[in-house]
Amino acid sequence: MELDLTKTVAAFVLVIAVGTGALITMPIGMAQSTILMMVLPSMAVFGLIMLAIGVAHGQYRAVH
């Protein structure tokens, strides 16, 4: 499967949405505002960092 920008963004948003939705529906005692204002942004930033590292590693593997 070849990944392009559209598929990558769709998969990224889907993973973040599923994780956030699961946290909101779980009875863990964390307020919804806390999840949306603290957890969601940190999940997105972490995902972007991991995506950048993965792309860089893929480029390295393609060249070497």
Q: How confident is the model over 7-62, as pLDDT tens digits?
A: 999 999 999 999 999 999 998 888 999 999 999 999 999 999 999 999 999 999 99
Q: Give the amino acid at 56.
A: A
- Per DSSP, the chain holds a count of helices (H) and strands (E) of 3, 0
Phi and psi at residue 3, to the nearest 5°: -95, 130
CA separation for the pair 38, 5 (Å, rounded): 27
For residue 9, which of 44, 58, 41 has the smallest C-alpha distance? 44
Which ranges of the chain does DSSP label H, i.e. alpha helix?
5-25, 32-34, 40-63
What is residue 47's predicted lDDT score, i.e. its pLDDT? 95
> Three-class SS of residue 56?
helix
pTM: 0.83
